[in-house]
Amino acid sequence: MGEFIRAFSVFFEVLITLIAEFYGVIHVMEEAQKMELTNVWLKCDSALVCVTLTGLLLWQNVHWMLRNRCNICLNYCGKIKFRVTHIFHEGNACVDKLANLLFIHGESFHWYNRFPSNLFLEFFMNKYSLPMYCFY
């Protein structure tokens, strides 16, 4: 079972969602490399990001501003035990909650070394693979 290690929220001043998704994944993998993690399981709600990380889509299709950092990320992924899984938006409730906390506090970056109590329900549901529904 997965345990909470650390979490962060960051605001990227990017208006294109796909570029923001890639920025987020790259930032996560850079942090994992700094922490010297050797087992990483990334769950992402962007199918295009997942396909790119698995090598089914060439990195050359990534925006030119991200290409160098993407190559470094891919190199790191090849050196560790790395797994990427696509999840639906409803399965990403923890990420949504972290983003909302960032917005509420008016910060551009926040690092959580301890488990944020506001995430208890979402984390519990995710950890035990319980369904979460999103209604619009």
In a domain, 18, yes or no: yes
Which residues of the chain are modeled with pLDDT < 70?
1-2, 15, 56-61, 89-91, 132-136
CA 23/CA 44 separation, integer angstroms: 12
In a domain, 90, yes or no: yes
In a domain, 103, yes or no: yes
pLDDT for the residue numbered 123 = 80
In a domain, 132, yes or no: no
Q: Give me 76's structure tokens.
A: 């790191």
CA 10/CA 23 separation, integer angstroms: 10
Over residues 37-46, the pLDDT tens digits come to: 999 988 888 8
> Token pair 């906390």 is at which residue?
101
Q: Which residues lie closer than 8 Å to 105 by C-beta, 6 or more apart? A: none
CATH of residue 38's domain is 3.30.420.10
In a domain, 102, yes or no: yes
Q: Give me 62's structure tokens.
A: 């990534």
In a domain, 133, yes or no: no
Number of domains in the chain: 1
In a domain, 2, yes or no: no
In a domain, 57, yes or no: yes
Over residues 112-130, the pLDDT tens digits come to: 888 888 888 888 777 777 7
Residue range of the domain that includes 43: 7-127
